[in-house]
Structure 1
Amino acid sequence: MKQSAMAANGKRDGFRVIIIGGSVAGLTLALSLERAGIDYLVLEARDQISPQVGASIGIFANGARILDQLGIYDSIEQHTDPPIWHDMLTGEGTLVQKVDSLRLMQIRTGYPVAFLERRQVLQLLYDHFPNRSKILTGKRVVGVDHLNRGVRVHCDDGSDFTGDIVAGADGVHSQIRQAMWQHAESHNALKHLKRDRQAMFAEYRCLFGISSAVPGLAEKTQYRTFNKDWSFLVVVGKDSQCFWFVFEKLDKVYRPPNMPSYNKDTDQKEFVKQFMARYVAQTVTFAALWQRRTAATLTVLEEAQYTHWTYDRIVCLGDAIHKMTPNIGQGGNWAIESAAALTNKLNKLLKRTKGRPVADDIRAALKNFEQSRHARTKEVCETAGFATRLEAFATLAHRLMSMYVVPYAGDMLVDVHCRAVAGAPKLDFLPPPEKSLRDGTVFQAARFVEPGDNPAWRALRALPLLAICLVNYRVLGSAAAAVVPQIDGAADRRSVAALMTDLAALQTVGMVETMRRGNNFTLAALWPVFALVGHWKGLLGYAAPVYFFLHYVQCSPDRFAAPDNRLVPRHHAKTIVAAVAVGYILPAASLLFADRTHACVFERVWQVCPLTTALVHRAFASAIPNTTATERVQNPCADMRHLRLAYAAGAFISGATYCYLAITSRWYTHIFWSDALQLWQAYRVLAVPAEVSRGQLIRYHHLITFGSSLLWELLHFRDLGRAGRLNMSYLKVAGVLFGTVMLMGPGAAMALAWAWREEVLARKTRWGTEAEKRR
C-alpha cells in the first residue's frame, strides 16, 4: 500500500526533506528543521525510536549548545550527574593521574560532560516534537528514485514518500550512502568514489555496556585504564550507573565485506574471560562491572572518513559519512553538529530563493554543507583514532606519550578540546543559549575572533618585527657583539644603566609570559632562552624581535579567553619581583659599579643572568604552596595583585632611572634621541653611521629592542580592539604609548602597557559590542 506525501509546510512552498534514520543525527536534523519551519519526514527502520542496545552517549559542549537551542538540554541534565574527576590508571590498577579536567571543561564551555543512555537522548528528542506523525517507525528503505523535481523513497512494506532531498542518517552501514554511490556511478560522477568505497576499516573492537552501581567506583568520576593492545573507559553517571567500554586491538586490519561480526552469547562470553581480573579502578576489576551489567554489546569499531557527503539530491550525515572510534566521545556530538550545519544551509537556501529552489541551487547548498564540514571532521576523526591507539599503546611512541607526557602536560588536553569546541557550528537562526554566553566561555570568545585570523595572517601582520632583524643585520652587522657591556667612562655608564633598568622591566614581562598558563607548550614560554642568547652574544637587538614575532603569532586574544589561561600561577606571580631583584638587578648593579679588577667577572655573571633569574624564580616559587589547581577554577584572578606589583616595580626602576638621567644629565637625553634619529637615518640608507662608539652601539640595541617591544604591544592592542575588548582606537593607544615613552622612557612604557593589557584580559565583560557590529 502506497502512502501519499504529507502536507507541505506552507512557509516553504512545499519543500521537504526525507530523513532516513531515527538516530541522534536524524532526530536532531528533524527537530532543527522543525524550528526553522522546513517540512520533513523521518523514516526509521526499527519498530521503536529508542531501543535498548547497551549504548551510552556523552554530550559535550559542542553538542549541548545545539540541544540547548532546541530546548532539550534541560531535560538531558535531569538524567545526568556529570563527572568532574578523571582517573588514569595502568593495566595493573596503579593510579597515574587524578585531575579535575572535566570540571575545568565545564567552566570554560558553560556545559558539563553529560553521560546517559543513548536511548534516553533519542526519547527526549522524540518527546520534543510537536507533530510526531512526521516520525514513522518500521520503514526500512530499499530504494531511492530521482524525479524531475525531487526524489521518491521506497520502503520494504510497499510504501513510498516524495520530497526534495534525502538525508541519510542511517548509521555506519548506510543504505542511503550506497544509493548515493550507485546514483553517482550511473552518471560517471564523483571522481573519488572508488576511494570512498574502500575508506572503511577496523583495527579495534569494543564491548560496551551499562551496569548498576559498583562498590569502589566513585561518583562524578571517569576512569581510563591504558595497556598494551587493550584499554578500559568507565564513566559513573547518575545514581552511580556505570557506562563502560572495553577496547581491544584485532589480529589485523579488516575491511568490508570481511568485517568481523559477533554473537551476543558465545562471542561475548569468550571475549570477557581475559578481562575479568583486569583493573578498571585501583581496587575494582572488570568482573564487578560484568556481574552487574544491565546491557552489553560486542562490536567491531569501524573507522571511515568519506570524501563525498552528497551527490545530486542525496546527502549523508552522522556515522553514515564520518565514523570515528568512541574514545573521545565525539561521534554523537559530531552528528548533532552536522545536523545543525545542514539545517543552516537549507534555511539560508530557502530564504534566498523565491518559491521552491531549483535542483542546481539545492546541489550547491548541499555541496557547501559538505565543504564546510570536511576539515573539521577530518581533524576529529584523526584525533579519535589517535586516542584509541594512544590508550592501547599501539607503538612505543604512544606508550611514552601516554605514560610520560600526558600526565605532566597540565591542562593541555583541555586546551585542545576547548579550541575544537569553540569552532563548532550552532543553529544560526536561533539565539545562542545563555549558558554559552557566560563570561569567559570559549563560545563567547569565538563569536568575536577576527575572521581568518589564523597563524599565517598573524605572521604576515607581524613581519615588521622580522624585518627589524634583517635591517639590523644589514646596518649593524657583526658590530652587534660589542653590546656586551664594557664600561669606559661616564657616558658608557649612563647608557648601560639605562639599558639594564629597561631590561629589568622587559625581564619582568618575559617571566610573566613564560609562566602564563595559556602559553604552555608554545614558544612564548621560552623567553629565558631568547634573553640568554641576547645577553651572551650581545644579540638582543635580534633575539628580542624574533621572540616578539613568535609570541604574537601564537598568542591570539582567544587563547586567553578562558580566564584560567590568562592566569599566572600565584606562587610564580608572587615571586617575580624577588627573582628579578636577586637574579637580574643585583648582577646588573654589581657590573655597573664594579672596578676594573672585577668587571670581567661581573660581566660574565650578567651575560647569563636571564638563566640565573629563571632558576632563582623557580627556587623561590617552590617554597610557596602551588594553589593553581583550585584557583584556575574558583579564582582565576588570584594572580592580579602580584602581577600589578611586578609591573609597577619594573616600570618604577626603569622610569626612575630614565627620569634621573634626564634631570641630572641633559646630555644623555639629547644624545639618546639623537641616536634614535641617526638609527632611523641608517635604516633608510641601510648603512651604519661612521665612527660608532661602544656607547652608541649600546643605545642602538637599546632602541631596537624597545622599539620592537612597543610595536609588539601595539599589535596585541590592535587584536584587543578588533575583539571588542578595548574601546579605544589604535591611534589613541599609540599616542598613549608614545607619550609614556617621552615622560618615563621606553622600558617603563613597555611595562605599563603590558600591565594595561593584563587588566583588559582579566576584566569580566561580555566580549565586544563593537566587534559584534563589524560582523
Structure 2
Amino acid sequence: MSRESPFKVVIAGASVAGLSLANMLQANGIDYVVLEAHQTIAPQVGASIGLVPHGCRILDQLGLYEKVMEIAPPIQTFNFRDATGSVLAQHQDMDHRLIDRQMLLQILYDNIKDKSKILTNKRAVKVKLTHGGIQVTTADGTIVPGDMLVGADGVHSTIRQEMWKLAADLSPKHFDPSEHEAPPCDNSCIFGISNPCPGIGPGDLHCVFRNSSSYLVTGGPEGRVYWFRFQRLPKTFQGSDIPRYTDADLEKALAESADDNILPDLKFSTLVENKVSAVMTPLVEYIYKQWHFGRIITLGDSAHKFHPVGGQGGNAAIESAALLTNNLVKSLSQSTSGHLSFAEVVSIFEDVQSRRKPRVALNHRYSHGRARTEALDTPSKKLMALHLLPLVDEQVVTLSYCAQSPGGECLDMLPVRPHRNLVPYKQELLAEPKSRDYLQWVFIGAYLFMAAVVFCANRHVELPLDTSHTQNTSPTFHLGQPNEFRAKNLSTSHDFTAMSGVEAWASGLTPSEIYSLGHFIQPAAIMVIEGYRGRNKLTPLGLPILWLMLVHLVGLEVAMPLYFALYTMVSDSETYWWPLRRFVPLRYARSVLIACVVGEAVRIGLLYNHSTISNSTRSLDVMQQFSFLLIPLLVQAFGVFCGRRQELNPSKTLDLEILSLRNTYLVVGIAGALCYWYTLMYIFRDPAVFSMLNNRILLSLSSIQSVQLPLETGFWIYLLASYLWSVQAIWDLRRVGRFSSSVLKSAFGILIGNIGATNRSLLRTQGRASRKRVAPIVPVLALCLCVNLAMSLYQLPSNRLIERRLCIDYYRRTDPSQINPDGRLDEKLCKIREIEKDLGRFMLLWAIVVGRFDALLPTKAIIAGPVLSILGGDCVFNSLTYNLASNLTDDHVQRAIYFGYMSSVSYVVALLGPALASSTMTLSLWLPFWLGLILLLLAIPIIQLLPSPQELDRDEDGLAEEQHEPLLSSPLLKAQDDQNSLLHSTAERLQTIKTIISSHPRNFTLLLFSFWLTSLASSDTKLLVQYISARYGWTFASAGYLLSGKAVVNFTLLTVIIPKLLRSAREVQQAGSTEAVDKSNIRNAMYCLLVSVFGALGIAIASRIWMLIPSMFVYALGSALPIFTLSLLKSPAISPPHTENLEGSSDPEPHIFSIVMLVKTAGSLVGAPLMAALWVHGLDIGGAALGMPFFFSAPCYTVAIWVLTEMKVD
C-alpha cells in the first residue's frame, strides 16, 4: 500500500473471529475492512455458541458483555445423565452462557460505528502479495488493498488455500503439503435450536452419556433449547474422504435417535418436533502447523477446529484476535512511519502463533477428551463417567471446566473489570505461570536419591543386643524417638544426681533430641494441612496418617524426601496452585493448631514417662508407640465437632481459613525456632558438657557406635532435603506468579538460618574424637568455595557473550530483520550449526593460547586463582589447598574424607554456580562477573584464618612438635622464605623431586599417567553446556540448571556415601595394614573409572534429553575418583618415608602435590583444545557425532583403568 495511506487490515470473513477483530481494531483507531461472502452479516444457520469466562472477559473490555447477559442466561444447573436420562451428578452455578451464533454476530456488528467498513457479497477468491502490502480480489472483481490480511473465513478457508498456493511458488518448504489431507474426522454432529420443551428451563444444561453417542442440551434465552447430538463414526476419515451430509442423511439420523432419552420423561423426538432449525455436519478436529505466510495470517476455525462439546471454538477465536491486536498496537506505536515492514509483520504473526498454539492444543485436548468420555468410548471412560463422576467432589468438576480460563488472553490497552477470582487469570498474577519442565525430574531424582542413601545406610546398622531396650530404639534419625540407652546411662550419672526428674531427663537428651521436641510438630502440621487441601484429595498426600506411620517406621530422614518427591510430582500443574484448590475446609483449618499443641504435649509427656518409669505398663508402651497419630486424629475429631456448627457462606470463609492457617504456621514455627536456638545456645554455653556426655555414652555402650553414622547421615539428608524443598517452594511461588522477590535472596536467608543447625551437627559428630581438628579444615573449604564459585560464575555468561557477538555478526550478514531495534536477539536464534561451530573454533583457539602460559605463582597470588586460571593459576591453588588438607591429619581415612570434602566443594560450586549464573544472567549478563569479584574479595579475610604450623598438633598426646613443615608450601614460596641463595634453594628442590621419583619410579610414573589421562578425559565436562545447548536446543541458562542437578549427585556422593564406605572399610581392615588400604584405594578408583566410562558413553549416544539425564547422573558417580587417587600420594608405595635421609632436602609431600597438580594442569591444557577440536568436527558431521568428545573420553578412562592395574603395592 501507499505510504501516504494509513495502515490497513483486510479481514476476510464476518465471523466471530472477524467481527471481534474489527471491534478491537476500531477501539484502537486502526483502519480495517471486512469482506463477507454472504448477503447478510448474521445469517441464521441453526448454530449456537458457548461463551466461557475468558471469552466473556474480552467482550466486557469491548463493552459488549452487558448486551450478551441481557439475552443469554448463565448456566445455573449442570446435569450429567446416563442413557435413561437419570442424573449421575449435578453441579450449580457454572459461569457459562449459550447464545445463538446469529445473536452474537449481531451484537458484534451493531457495535461497529462505521458500517461502510463491513462489505457483504464480497467473497475473497484470490490473494496477491505486493511490495509493502497485499491485494485481495473478490468474486465480483473488486480489488481490496491492505497492509495485512487476516483469514477468518472458517474451516473451509479460501484464504488458507490461497496462502498455500503463494507459498508453493515462493517458499515450498514453508507448509507441510500433507496437511491438505491431514485433518481427521471421528464424529458427526447434528446441532439445532428448538422452541421451549418441557423440563428444560433457561440456564439448565444436560449432558447425556450414551454408547458411541452423546447429547448436549441447554436452555437458552426466550425459552429456546439449544441441542447437539454427537455420533461416533465407524472409522476415522481424513481430507477428501470426510463425508458430506444431505438433508436425507439428517432426517434419517433424527428418526433413528428419536427414542433416546434426554430426561427420564423427555425423548429426543420432542426436541425434533419443536425444532426451529437443524444441521448435520462432520466434526473436523485439527490444529494446523503453520498459520501465516508473508503478510497473511489465519485465525479461528481457519487455523484450528475443536469438538464443539467443550465450547472453546469461538472463545479461542476471540483470544487470537485479542493477541494479534495487542501485538499490532504495540508495533505501530513504535513505528515512526505508521507502517510496518515485512519483517515486523512476520514477527507479529510468529509471536501470535507461538503463544497461541500451546493454548489451542490445550483446548483441543480438553474438547476431544470430554467428547470421548461422554460417548463412553472405552471401558475406562465408561468407568469414569458412570461410576466415578458421581463420587467426585464439586471442586474436581469445577476444575475440569475452569482449566481453560486462566491462560486466556485479553486486550492489554483496555481496562479489565476487577474480580476476586478463585481461578486467577495470568494477567492477574505477578508473572505468567510456567512449568518446571525438566527440573521437575531433577528435583524428584534428588529427593529419591537422598531417601535411598539413608535407607541403604540404615539397613547395615547393627543394633545393640540388649534385649531389654532394643524394642523401641531405632538406628535412624527419628525425631522424637526416645533413646533409652542415654536415659538409662543418665540415671546413673554422677554429674546429674542433683537434678530433678524432668531436668535430668531434659539434660540427658542429645542436641538432636532437644531439637526434635519442637521440630516434629512442623512436618506433622504440614502433612495434616496438605492432607486436607482439595488439590491433594486424590493423591497419597491426602493421607497424612499414612505418612506419619511411614515416619514412625523409617524416620523423617527417609519419609520426608519421599514426601517431597511425591509433592513435586503432583504440584507442577498450574491448576494445583489455584485458590479454588488450595482451600482447607474451615472446620479443619480451625482445628489444626489446637490438635498440634495438644497432640505434641501428650506425645512429649508419654516420652518422658516412658524414659523415667522403670516398669512401664504395656498400655503405656502402646500409647507411646502410637502417639505420633494423635495430631491427625485430633484434627478429624475437632473438625467433626466444629462441623456441626452452621457453616459460613463459602465466599466468606477464605479470609478466616487463611487466618487460621497463618496462626498455625506461626505457632509451630516459633516452637521449632525456640527449641532450635535453645539447643544452639546450650551447646555454645558449655560444649564440653555434650562432648563429655556423648563420650561417656559411647564408652559405656560401645555397641551403639554403629548407630552413630546413620544418625549423622540421616540428619544431614533431612537437613538437605528440607532446605531444597524450602527453596523449591519459594521458586514454585515465583514460577506460578505468586511471588516476585528474588529466589536467591530467599534461598540465602534460609541457608543462613540453617548454618546454626549445621554447626550444631558438626559439634556433635566431631566433638567426641577429633574436636580440635574441625576448625582447620573449615577455612580451607571456605576458601575453596569462594574461589571456585567465582571461577564458575564466569563460564556461562562468557560463553553467552561470545555466542551473542557471533550470533549478531551472523544475522547482520544473513538476515538483519531478526535483530531487534535495540540490538537484542532471541537466544534461540543462535542455536544453529554455523554459530555453534564458530563458538567451538573460538574456544579451541583460546585453549591453545592459554596453553602457552603455565608458570607457577607464589602463594601470595592464591586469591588470583580464578583470574590466573588461564595462566596455570589453578595448579598453584589446587596444590596449595590439597597440601593443606593432607597435613591436617595422619589418619588415612580422615585424610581421604577431607579430600572428599574438598572435592565436594567443587560440586557445591557446580550446583550453585550454573544455577546462580543462569538466574543472574536473566537480569544482567554482567551480574555474574560482579558477583565473582565480590566472592574474591570475601576470600581475602578467609586466608587469614588458614591454619599455621603452630596451631596444628600431630601428636596423640596433644603436644606440639618442635619442627613443622609450613603448610602453605610451594617451591617458589620456600625459595622466598629460605635464607639461602635462590640457586641453592632451586638445587635443593630439584634434589627432592629426584628423590621422590627415584623412590618408586614405576608406581609414581603410572599414577602420574593416570592423573594426566583422567584430567584430559574430564575436559569433556567443560563442553557439557554447549553440548546440551546445541544438541537439544536449550538455552545456556536452562543447561546450567540441569548441571546443577548433576552436582547434587556429586555432592551427596562425596559428603555422605564415600565417608560411610571409608569408615566401614576401616573397621574390617587390620590396624596399620597399609597394603590393604592401598589396594582398597586402587580398587575403588577403578570402580569410579568404570562408572565414568559408562557415563561418558551414555552422554555421547543420548539422542533425547530423557536419555541424557540418567547418563549425566551415572557420569557424576565417577566424581569420587580424586579421593582415592590423591590418597595414594601418601602411600609408602608412592612417597618416600619421612625417615629416609633426604640430605637436607625439604619435605617431599608438598612437592608431590605440586607435581601432581602440574600433571593435571598439563592434562587439562591438552584436553581443552583437543575436546574443542573434536566438538567442532562433530558439529560439522552432526547427529551422533556431536558426542565425539565423550566418545573420546571413554577410552581415556579405560586406559586409566589399565594403568592402575599395573601398579604394585605389595
Superposition TM-score tier, normalisation by shorter sequence: 0.7 to 0.9
From 286, 289, 292, give the equivalent of 1:310.
292
Amino acid at match of 1:34: Q
Structure 1: distance between partners of 2:753 and 2:176:
64
User: Unaligned 5+ residue runs, structure 2?
Assistant: 462-473, 488-504, 695-701, 761-922, 924-1210
| Structure 2 residue 284 is the aligned partner of structure 1 residue 268 | no
Residue 519 of structure 2 corresponds to 502
Give, in whole Å, the separation in 2 of the partners of 1:275 and 1:545: 56
Once the two structures are TM-superposed, the CA of residue 379 in structure 1 deviates from its matched residue by 2.2
Question: Aligned pair in 2 of structure 1 residues 507, 466: CA closer, same or farther (>3 Å)?
Answer: same
What is the CA–CA distance in structure 2 between the aligned matches of 1:577 and 1:320, rounded to whole Å? Answer: 56
User: Is 1:284 aligned to residue 266 of structure 2?
Assistant: yes
Tell me which of 547, 550, 553 is aligned to 1:533: 550
In 2, Cα distance between equivalents of 1:553 and 1:251: 38
1:591·1:602 contact (CA, 8 Å) conserved in 2? no
Is the 8 Å Cα contact of residues 499 and 702 (structure 1) preserved in structure 2? no
Residue equivalent to 1:547: 563
Q: Report the CA distance between 1:643 and its aligned residue.
A: 3.8
Could you say which residue in structure 2 is the equivalent of 1:106? none
Q: Relative to structure 1, is the Cα distance of residues 302 and 350 closer, same or farther in structure 2, using a 3 angstrom cutoff?
A: same
Whole-angstrom distance in 2 between the partners of 1:134 and 1:566 = 49
- Which residue matches 1:363? 346
CA contact (8 A) 1:19 1:169 kept: yes
CA distance in 2, matches of 1:701, 1:599: 31
**C-alpha deviation, 1:20, in angstroms:** 0.9
Q: Distance in 2 between matches of 1:696 and 1:671?
A: 20
Give the alignment of 1:242-257 within 5 angstroms: 242-257=225-240
CA distance in 2, matches of 1:135, 1:116: 23
Change (3 A) 1:438 1:646: closer
Check 1:724–1:233 CA distance in 2 against 1; reply closer, same or farther (3 A cut). closer
Contact 2:435 2:573 in 1 (8 A): no
Instruction: Determine helix, strand or coil for the equivalent of 2:323.
Output: helix
CA distance in 2 between counterparts of 1:546 and 1:572 reads: 25
Aligned to 1:771: none
**C-alpha contact 1:591 1:599 (8 A) present in aligned 2:** no
Q: 2:689 and 2:543 mapped to 1: Cα distance?
A: 32
Deviation at 1:293, TM superposition (A): 2.3
TM value normalised by structure 2: 0.53
Deviations 1:167-225 (A, max 9, x none): 11111111111111222223352355223112212211111122233222244322111
C-alpha contact 1:552 1:716 (8 A) present in aligned 2: no
1:199 aligns with 2:205: no
Partner of 1:203: helix, strand, or coil?
strand
Aligned runs of 1:377-416 on 2, under 5 Å? Answer: 377-410=360-393, 411-416=395-400
- Of 220-229 and 418-427, deviating more is 418-427
CA distance in 1, matches of 2:442, 2:298: 38
User: Going by fraction, where is strand more abundant, 1 or 2?
Assistant: 1
Q: What CA distance in whole angstroms lies between the structure 2 residues aligned with 1:707 and 1:492?
A: 27
Structure 1 portions without partners, runs of 5+: 103-111, 679-688, 747-773
Deviation at 1:442, TM superposition (A): 0.7
- Which of 388, 394, 404 lines up with 1:420 in the alignment? 404
* Structure 2 letter corresponding to 1:286: F
Map 1:341-490 to 2 at 5 A: 341-355=323-337, 356-410=339-393, 411-428=395-412, 430-435=413-418, 437-438=419-420, 440=422, 442-443=424-425, 446-449=428-431, 452=434, 454=436, 456=438, 478-479=460-461, 481-483=475-477, 485=481, 486-488=483-485, 489=487, 490=505
Computing the radius of gyration over CA atoms, which structure comes out larger, 1 or 2?
Answer: 2
Paired residue type of 1:255: Q
CA separation in 1, counterparts of 2:755 and 2:93? Answer: 43
Deviations 1:609-643 (A, max 9, x none): 66786577557656765999985445334535654
- Verify the 8 A CA contact 2:533 2:582 in the aligned structure 1: yes
Partner of 1:38: 30
Q: Is the Cα–Cα contact under 8 Å of residues 155 and 302 in structure 2 kept in the other structure?
A: yes
Higher mean displacement: 274-283 or 696-705: 696-705
Change (3 A) 1:171 1:673: farther
- The structure with the largest helix share of the pair is 2
Aligned-partner residue type, residue 487 of structure 1: E
Tell me the distance in 2 between the aligned counterparts of 1:278 and 1:628: 43
Q: CA deviation at 1:80?
A: 1.7
The structural deviation recorded for 1:703 is: 7.2
Amino acid of the structure 1 residue aligned with 2:37: A
Does residue 1:162 correspond to 2:145, yes or no?
A: yes
Select 2:7's aligned residue among 11, 15, 23. 15
Task: Tell me the distance in 2 between the aligned counterparts of 1:200 and 1:658.
Answer: 64
Aligned to 1:635: 653
Residue in 1 aligned with 2:320? 338
**Aligned residue type for 2:151:** G
Moved more, 557-566 or 216-225: 557-566
SS of equivalent residue, structure 1 residue 114 = strand
Which amino acid letter does the alignment assign opposite residue 77 of structure 1? M
| 3-state SS of paired residue (1:421) | coil
Contact preservation (8 Å) 2:683, 2:690: no
Alignment of 1:209 with 2:196, yes or no, is no
The answer to whether residue 74 in structure 2 is matched with residue 82 in structure 1 is yes
* Deviation for aligned residue 1:372: 2.1
| Alignment match of 1:145 (pick from 128, 133, 144) | 128
Determine the structure 1 residue equivalent to 2:208. 225
Q: How big is the shift at 1:117?
A: 1.0
SS in 2 for 1:142: strand
Q: 1:564 to 1:669 in 2, by over 3 A?
A: farther
Contact 1:219 1:237 (C-alpha < 8 Å) held by counterparts: yes
**Helix, strand or coil for the counterpart of 2:285?**
strand
- Asked if structure 2 preserves the Cα contact closer than 8 Å seen for 1:56 and 1:117, the reply is yes
**In the TM superposition, what whole-angstrom CA distance separates every residue of 1:645-693 from its partner, at most 9, and x where no partner exists?**
655775687678779x869x95799679979xx9xxxxxxxxxx99858
Count matched residues. 711
Residues 386-417 of structure 1 show CA distances to partners (whole Å, capped at 9, x for unaligned) of: 11111001111211122233333322343344
The SS at the match of 1:397 is helix
Range that drifts further, 195-204 or 724-733: 724-733
In structure 2, C-alpha distance between the alignment counterparts of 1:283 and 1:447, rounded to whole Å: 47
* Alignment-mate amino acid for residue 318 of structure 1: G
Q: Counterpart of 1:442 in 2: which secondary structure?
A: coil
1:60-99 equivalence runs, <5 A: 60-99=52-91
Kindly state the Cα deviation for residue 422 of structure 1 after the two structures are TM-superposed: 1.4
Contact 1:23 1:122 in 2 (8 A): yes
Q: What is the letter of the counterpart of residue 548 of structure 1?
A: F
CA distance in 2 between counterparts of 1:728 and 1:498 reads: 30
Distance change (3 Å), C-alpha of 1:700 and 1:503: farther
Query: In structure 1, what is the Cα distance between the partners aligned to 2:589 and 2:58?
Result: 39
Instruction: State how far apart, in whole Å, the 2-side matches of 1:198 and 1:43 are.
Output: 27
**Contact 2:458-2:475 within 8 A present in 1 as well:** no
